[in-house]
Structure 1
Amino acid sequence: MSALSFISNYGSSSDESEKESEENKRLQPQCKKIKLQLPDLSCVPIVPPESHSEDPQDHGGRVRSFPHVRGNWATFIYVKYPEEESLLSLSQRLLGILSAFKDSCHVCDNVHISLSKTVVLQYHLITPFTRSLQEVFRNIDCFCLDFSGIKVYCNEENTRTFIALEVDYSSKIRLLQLSQNVDDVLKEYKLPLFYENPSFHMSIIWLTGDKKAELSSLMSEFNNSLNKELGNTINPVLVSDLNCKIGNKYFQFTLQ
């Protein structure tokens, strides 16, 4: 069979297929669009997109100082204690003294010394705010941090009580200078300033509720425990950087 025969047969076969396809289309019934019935959603509860649990049981009994609002970022500046493991022995001693409160006692994690209150910052201010902090910390020297005793504190909402290490006099002078620098930045952004006469401390144990009065009789035992650890497991440490937490973001500023 010649090449022309193959071409002729292919063309003939193609024509027949097209005729069959058109015939099938003519014979098939036309499909009609079916309008689907909308589901009844009247019984489905509407959940706000920004729904947050405020149950204290979800956070070890802790209560928010202010409600969560989209676009508001909880912010505070602090000194992070670089040798947290050295506090384990003291914490165990204190927990032994607090056996009567064991159901409400918690060891603090991420121990630190605050240089500001927790304030609310808008997202678009995060970058300029941290730049302002960097500027005021630019010429600050490293310093030694040490402690002189144990004190008991209660938060402003009276929802938690803290057993804390109070800094010594020389550390207080340096921390006071730093908090004043932070206040200068807070003023710039019209945010609440730190306490007028701050008592710089590092919380190591917290209890639910206001327990200050109940713990007052244990102060001598607390300080005796601290005296056994000072110079043993707890020694002066060098502070070489400062920290800022804004929501889930962390910023660190290196000192000279």
Structure 2
Amino acid sequence: MSALNLLCDYGSDDTSDESDKDISIPLKKPKLPTPNLSGVSTVVLSEEHIDDPSLHNGRIRTFSHVRGNWATFVYIEYPKKDKLLKIIDLLHTVLTTIDESCIVCENVHISLSKTFVLRYHMIKPLTTSLQEVLSNIESFDLNFDSVEVYCNEEKTRTFLALGVDAMSHEYLINIVEKIDNILGDFKLPKFYENPLFHMSILSINGNKKELILKNLQYLNEIFNHQKNKILNPVNIIKVNCKSGNKVYQYCFK
């Protein structure tokens, strides 16, 4: 008879002898095993679950933090932000005249997936699957050729971004197709059907897309004047997957 059955019998039988009572030991819930991710480089970030927009420049979570749900997305981190500083500074000066809430984006990157919710038990199989497909990709040169304007799906924030050139786009499409196949296997949302790959560098509170579009030609003139001087193609050698406070890094061959 299992310990659980003995506990049930003990609670329902007033005539049980003293030996039965000795068996009624409280059961402890076993801890889940830690996933084996030894083959993937992992960076642990600081824990941060504060939802007060005033503490992070008015940004609002797409969905609230729930313990056990890991907000996750796949992306390429731009490795040489210092090369962008002059361009960002010039564009920031222009945008602050349009809206004073304009700030510089802290972690410049190119998204390769939507943000999705990942449960704990899915971490190991998903990261292992990503490792298998991304480790076979060759490194490539990333370059930008335009300034673009985007607004998030919630219409709470507007972004000024650098759009990638045609050659970079082809490489990124190939990577996204591989990632989408993995996400589909896990019944997770795939990326946009016709993605416009870009790297957000500045952001403004609210939906100010139409306002910025009126100045887009001037912003592109500033960018084009500077890019050939200081913005060379950057070799991309890895893809990151951020899940909760951890970043899993997948290096190309």
Partner of 1:151: 148
Deviations 1:71-121 (A, max 9, x none): 000101111111101111011111221132452101011100000001100
Q: What pairs up with 1:108-119 in 2 under 5 angstroms?
A: 108-119=105-116
Measured after TM superposition, the shift of residue 58 of structure 1 is 1.8
Q: What pairs up with 1:229-240 in 2 under 5 angstroms?
A: 229-240=226-237
Measured after TM superposition, the shift of residue 53 of structure 1 is 4.2
On the 8 A contact 1:97/1:221 being kept in 2, the answer is no
Q: Secondary structure at the match of 1:252?
A: strand
Q: Which residue of 137, 142, 154 maps to 1:140?
A: 137
In 1, distance between residues paired with 2:73 and 2:51?
A: 21
Q: What pairs up with 1:161-240 in 2 under 5 angstroms?
A: 161-240=158-237
Q: Secondary structure at the match of 2:228?
A: coil
Measured after TM superposition, the shift of residue 242 of structure 1 is 0.8
On the 8 A contact 1:95/1:102 being kept in 2, the answer is no
Larger Rg: 1
Partner of 1:248: 245
Over the matched positions of the two proteins, sequence identity in percent amounts to 49
The Cα RMSD (Å) is 1.1
TM-score (norm 2): 0.79
Is the aligned partner of 1:92 residue 2:89? Answer: yes
Q: Which residue of 63, 66, 82 maps to 2:63?
A: 66
Q: Secondary structure at the match of 2:70?
A: strand
Q: Secondary structure at the match of 2:193?
A: coil
- Where does the alignment leave 5 or more consecutive residues of structure 1 unmatched? 1-51
In 1, distance between residues paired with 2:239 and 2:219?
A: 29
In 2, distance between residues paired with 1:148 and 1:54?
A: 36
- Where does the alignment leave 5 or more consecutive residues of structure 2 unmatched? 1-48
Counting matched residue pairs gives 205
Q: What pairs up with 1:52-63 in 2 under 5 angstroms?
A: 53-63=50-60
Structure 1 stretches of at least 4 aligned residues deviating more than 3 Å after TM superposition: none
In 1, distance between residues paired with 2:121 and 2:82?
A: 37
In 1, distance between residues paired with 2:174 and 2:196?
A: 13
Q: Secondary structure at the match of 1:136?
A: helix
TM-score (norm 1): 0.78
